[in-house]
Structure 1
Amino acid sequence: MAELPLEALRKLSDLHPKPANLHFQYGTAGFRTLGSTMDSVMFRVGVLAGLRSKKLDGKTIGVMVTASHNPEPDNGVKLVDPRGEMLEASWEVHATTLANAPTTEAFIEALSTLVKNAKIDLSKPARVVYARDTRPSGPALVAALEDGFKAIGVSARNAEVTTTPVLHYLVKAINTKGTKDEYGEDSEEGYMEKLSSAFKKLVAGKVSPPPLIVDCANGVGARAAAKLSDYLGDSLKLILHNTATTTPGALNNACGADFVKTSQKIPPSLVSILKPGQRACSLDGDADRLIYFYLDDRGLFHMLDGDKIAALVAAFIVELVKGAGLGEEIQVGVVQTAYANGASTKYLADRLPVTCVSTGVKHLHHAAERYDIGVYFEANGHGTVLFSPETTEKLNTHQPSTPAQSTALGHLVNLTRLINQTVGDALSDMLLVEVVLVYKSYSGIEWDSLYHDLPNRLVKVVVPDRNIFKTEDAERRLISPPGLQQKIDELVRRYEFGRAFVRPSGTEDVVRVYAEATSRAQADDLAYRVAGLVYDEAGGDTSRRPAEFL
């Protein structure tokens, strides 16, 4: 029976000591904090990735070094399981335990415990593919990660600088190579070819859409979008902005999907460029989120967020399924969180089943897997569409009885190739949106008018201890502190179409308050008053005046 390579582990681990007084937590986005503090975490993740691969009989595991929409000084790392999905939840605990072992000896002891408890056969091979975004801290952190690979004997493939969705794609493509479920060629070029060829087939014979402005957040999406643009050619012209990937401090600064969503305005760099009625979209720093927007004839900003994308895409897929003669056999459903705008939920629920789950991509992804075709988007623009294996098989073998059914069926098959089903993917989702807009002959204005968002406000309250706040019903109701939910309910009843909920942050001592109502003033007022209740209940940070909640 093979044993841990203790000498190599000790020698290399000593080069990456854990900082004292820092606690690391593996969450939905993996580990994420200041890049300058993550050296030890990266080394240990390298070792963990090797063990995860050995546990899964040598299947390839992915490691992505990124902090997505966070500011440039931050960085992070997350593991990707063999089907391109997020790391199995039970292993998040192992990741946190290993990251927080205070010394090399404690780390090796924790490794020994993991190997024993998880019954890992150390004689199995370990294979990993890894990549990073454009952050300045990336190269040094990747070097620490590579030391982890060396320490445990990983056969590692460096995918260099690329987007998070491409890394997820590569993991699935590598692990399905040569099988009946082959996902695509296992290279960035294979990804580009798969998406662009599916897009071209879907829009063949249609009037080409006007050029699309793409805000690349000065991140790795700029490189990927430029390559994709070459593959798309005349089928869709992309006008790329915010592509300064080497300018210090530019990443996600006053641009990108998170900026547009939270500030509800266009990036300042596009103010003199965007014309009324013109479509534009923003990626985030690692190109897994997408937000669309446009200016109306009066120059007013309109945002088309993840809720709007879900409504557009889900209704289109339902039409195609019915058009293919499969309406009775394939159930299409949508998954949202409590942050979804109430107007979007009503629009969707009138057309297909809607499930609400707790915040976090893993909750949405798992719930979407329960449908034959599951559409999930968070309001922040992260999401995708999942086709079950049985549905994919059905689409590939179904015999249509009319030319119209044959056309609809062909579109659905091409959608399974256009959509990155492993993870939310801004570029794949962008092409999906563009397909629907072409078919519907919609501009952003028509798309936006499918339903009108209820005005809403998201605020945060700094609290001494977020752990006193406990929720139920997909985080829509508080069960602790006792009595607080009743006070919130009484407040909400005073507002027309009022809705509000409170949930603790998963990463910091703040409580997030979401509120919506029929007018902006009412939504703001409701959010302010609920924040006040939370502040009073928790003994909020007294250095923050209540007016600063908003």
Structure 2
Amino acid sequence: MGDYRMTQFEKVSQRSVQHSKPAGLVLQYGTAGFRTNAKQLDHIMFRMGLLAALRSKKTKSTIGVMVTASHNPEEDNGVKLIDPMGEMVTPAWEEYATLLANAEQEGLLAALKDVIETEAINMSQDVSVFIGKDTRPSSEGLSQAVLDGVSSLGGHGHDYGLVTTPQLHFMVRCQNTQGCYGTATVDGYYQKLSKAYIQLTKHAPNRTDDQKHLLVDGANGIGALKLREMEPFLQKELQVSLFNDGSSGKLNFQCGADYVKVQQRPPQGVQMSAGERCCSFDGDADRIVYYYNDSAGQFHLLDGDKIATLISTFLKELLNQAGLDLQVAVVQTAYANGSSTNYLEETMKVTVRCVKTGVKHLHHAAQEFDIGVYFEANGHGTVLFSKAAEEAIQQLALDPNANDEKKSAARLLENTVNLINQTVGDALSDMLLIEAVLAIKGLTIQQWDAIYTDLPSRQLKVKVADRRVIDTTDAERRAVSPAGLQEAIDALVKKYKMSRAFVRPSGTEDVVRVYAEADTQENADALAHEVSVAVYRIAGGVGEEPKPFH
């Protein structure tokens, strides 16, 4: 055993020199893994290959490594680790990732041995790692560095090449459930989703070609490539006009879900007629937002809140028709529009849970319900079904004694489960689900938009000397410190109708983020400004006092 480990570590030592770390460079594993300029990532990728190999030995499962920086500009890149059920890697291992990433070259083996000892890893256990990458020019070399890391610990790396982030998550889960979740190939993914979509749209009242037509902005990324591959599987039940397909423009440049959400305008290069349905993916196709222009040329965005409302309403109606007593809950963050929360709780009688910002908090909370729907306002989200919920749906669909209406609703639910990628937010899967729901309910995008009207809101940031002076509670909706800040916010909120406001420290820089909502845009802007001034005065603002918003 000793000799075997020795040779393994010698191999790691030799190989790591080819992927050496610039001295003094420190990077943190954030919500979405490591992300920075691609030039600084070679050593990180090699070391994440090592960590994935250890995680695989520890869990005796296949682990995924995705090379992507999602909605960041093209010159950046990054890496995410994927756990056995296709979920994000567990928090303890995020710490190991940071430890390995920042170990100086001569301390790498010691850091590696630390992880092995702490986790009592059996080094003779086999290794299986799935690797995928997005379309950035740097992804090729960086994914090779991951493979080098995996193989230097005697591991087998399966390189899927160009895939969307959610496809790799899907593949990992398929592999570790021995194919129960689907087939661990890109074609297997297309087959599962398109079959479910075609089954669902059979229940749509006489769709015309116009109703099957959708404009898609592919963010000049991997999503465009994969949508093209998937089209034949959809058998013309969805007819896509694809823009920003990567043939000429730069990844995420003036296009993509993040651009549309932040700028509140259509992406460049998309020709929209009034009332036409459009959607945008982000760079690695795990986020989606919808939008349209009305007849007056006014732009309307349908973000994660609108998507969560559409999907949860659809599921709730089907459960009622099926007579299944399963609880649907929507998980939101403090950034969710107050109108959506109100509509879900008051009109739809759906449970709403509010959690801290960050996909991992939403995913975790959604697992506590029979059916948990979560979407961040930015368009990243999915639906999770408990094992018990899936079994109840399947049993009813097969029950010879159930009446036709109940059975039909159960079959629709079954196909909905198959259409959803439960591992992570997935733009392709979410797009097909939204298209199927709109078709079955016979809704135009304007009718969907009109389900409730968003309250006007405004987000600002205030520079402070130290963001750590701000401490929050109640899922970031109330400030506990500094003393007097929450009282000041409460007093300001009372001045405006239908208003609320909260502040939270940024995760990455010394700024405090301010969010405000009110009955008019003018009032939302005024409230956000007044709260910013309170933060500046009470929480140690730097630079000039915030000016009124114009």
What is residue 38 of structure 1 aligned with on the other side? 41
What is residue 192 of structure 2 aligned with on the other side? 194
What is residue 53 of structure 1 aligned with on the other side? 56
What is residue 235 of structure 2 aligned with on the other side? 233
SS at match of 1:546: coil
Task: Answer whether contact 1:292 1:305 (CA < 8 A) is retained.
Answer: yes
Whether 2:328 is the aligned partner of 1:332: answer yes
- For 1:405, give the aligned amino acid: K
List gaps (5 residues or longer) in structure 1.
none
| CA distance in structure 2 between the aligned counterparts of 1:464 and 1:536, rounded to whole angstroms | 12
Task: Answer whether contact 2:526 2:549 (CA < 8 A) is retained.
Answer: no
Identity %: 51
Q: After TM superposition, give the deviation of residue 22 of structure 1 in Å.
A: 2.5
Task: Answer whether contact 1:357 1:363 (CA < 8 A) is retained.
Answer: yes
Task: Answer whether contact 1:219 1:245 (CA < 8 A) is retained.
Answer: no
What is residue 108 of structure 1 aligned with on the other side? 109
Counterpart of 1:392 (choices 374, 378, 390) is 390
SS at match of 2:269: helix
Q: Point out the more displaced range, 458-467 or 129-138.
A: 458-467
What is residue 450 of structure 1 aligned with on the other side? 451
Q: Point out the more displaced range, 506-515 or 255-264.
A: 506-515
Question: Does the C-alpha gap of structure 1 residues 19 and 547 become closer, same or farther in structure 2, counting only changes over 3 Å?
Answer: farther
Counterpart of 1:349 (choices 330, 345, 350) is 345
Task: Answer whether contact 1:461 1:549 (CA < 8 A) is retained.
Answer: no
Task: Answer whether contact 1:344 1:453 (CA < 8 A) is retained.
Answer: yes
List gaps (5 residues or longer) in structure 2.
none
Question: Does the C-alpha gap of structure 1 residues 102 and 52 become closer, same or farther in structure 2, counting only changes over 3 Å?
Answer: same
What is residue 311 of structure 1 aligned with on the other side? 309
Question: Does the C-alpha gap of structure 1 residues 549 and 25 become closer, same or farther in structure 2, counting only changes over 3 Å?
Answer: farther
- For 2:444, give the aligned amino acid: S
Question: Does the C-alpha gap of structure 1 residues 21 and 462 become closer, same or farther in structure 2, counting only changes over 3 Å?
Answer: farther
Whether 2:267 is the aligned partner of 1:267: answer yes
Q: Please list the CA deviations of residues 262-298 of structure 1 after superposition, one character each: whole Å capped at 9, or x if unmatched.
A: 111111322xx10111110011010000100011111
| CA distance in structure 2 between the aligned counterparts of 1:480 and 1:21, rounded to whole angstroms | 34
Report the aligned-residue RMSD: 1.6
| CA distance in structure 2 between the aligned counterparts of 1:245 and 1:131, rounded to whole angstroms | 21
Task: Answer whether contact 1:222 1:245 (CA < 8 A) is retained.
Answer: no
The equivalences for 1:166-185 within 5 A come to 166-178=167-179, 182-185=180-183
Question: Does the C-alpha gap of structure 1 residues 72 and 510 become closer, same or farther in structure 2, counting only changes over 3 Å?
Answer: farther
SS at match of 2:235: helix
Q: After TM superposition, give the deviation of residue 3 of structure 1 in Å.
A: 2.7
- For 1:142, give the aligned amino acid: S
The equivalences for 1:23-422 within 5 A come to 23-57=26-60, 59-103=61-105, 105-178=106-179, 182-204=180-202, 206=204, 207-208=206-207, 209-244=211-246, 247=249, 250-270=250-270, 273-326=271-324, 328=325, 330-350=326-346, 351-398=349-396, 399=399, 401-422=402-423
| CA distance in structure 2 between the aligned counterparts of 1:500 and 1:232, rounded to whole angstroms | 44
Q: Point out the more displaced range, 14-23 or 168-177.
A: 14-23
Q: After TM superposition, give the deviation of residue 6 of structure 1 in Å.
A: 1.7
Task: Answer whether contact 2:219 2:244 (CA < 8 A) is retained.
Answer: yes
Q: Please list the CA deviations of residues 62-90 of structure 1 after superposition, one character each: whole Å capped at 9, or x if unmatched.
A: 00011111111221101000110110111
Q: Point out the more displaced range, 198-207 or 369-378.
A: 198-207
| CA distance in structure 2 between the aligned counterparts of 1:541 and 1:306, rounded to whole angstroms | 33
What is residue 485 of structure 1 aligned with on the other side? 486
Q: After TM superposition, give the deviation of residue 20 of structure 1 in Å.
A: 2.9
Task: Answer whether contact 1:336 1:354 (CA < 8 A) is retained.
Answer: yes
Task: Answer whether contact 1:492 1:526 (CA < 8 A) is retained.
Answer: yes
Q: After TM superposition, give the deviation of residue 541 of structure 1 in Å.
A: 4.2
Q: After TM superposition, give the deviation of residue 536 of structure 1 in Å.
A: 3.1
Q: After TM superposition, give the deviation of residue 220 of structure 1 in Å.
A: 0.6
- For 2:282, give the aligned amino acid: D
Q: After TM superposition, give the deviation of residue 242 of structure 1 in Å.
A: 0.7
Question: Does the C-alpha gap of structure 1 residues 307 and 440 become closer, same or farther in structure 2, counting only changes over 3 Å?
Answer: same
| CA distance in structure 1 between the aligned counterparts of 2:373 and 2:307, rounded to whole angstroms | 10
| CA distance in structure 2 between the aligned counterparts of 1:21 and 1:482, rounded to whole angstroms | 37
Q: After TM superposition, give the deviation of residue 526 of structure 1 in Å.
A: 1.4
SS at match of 1:370: coil
SS at match of 1:268: coil
What is residue 424 of structure 1 aligned with on the other side? 425
Q: After TM superposition, give the deviation of residue 474 of structure 1 in Å.
A: 0.6
| CA distance in structure 1 between the aligned counterparts of 2:144 and 2:248, rounded to whole angstroms | 20
Question: Does the C-alpha gap of structure 1 residues 71 and 89 become closer, same or farther in structure 2, counting only changes over 3 Å?
Answer: same
Q: TM-score with structure 1 length normalisation?
A: 0.95
- For 1:341, give the aligned amino acid: N
| CA distance in structure 2 between the aligned counterparts of 1:300 and 1:192, rounded to whole angstroms | 35
| CA distance in structure 2 between the aligned counterparts of 1:283 and 1:549, rounded to whole angstroms | 30
| CA distance in structure 2 between the aligned counterparts of 1:486 and 1:12, rounded to whole angstroms | 57
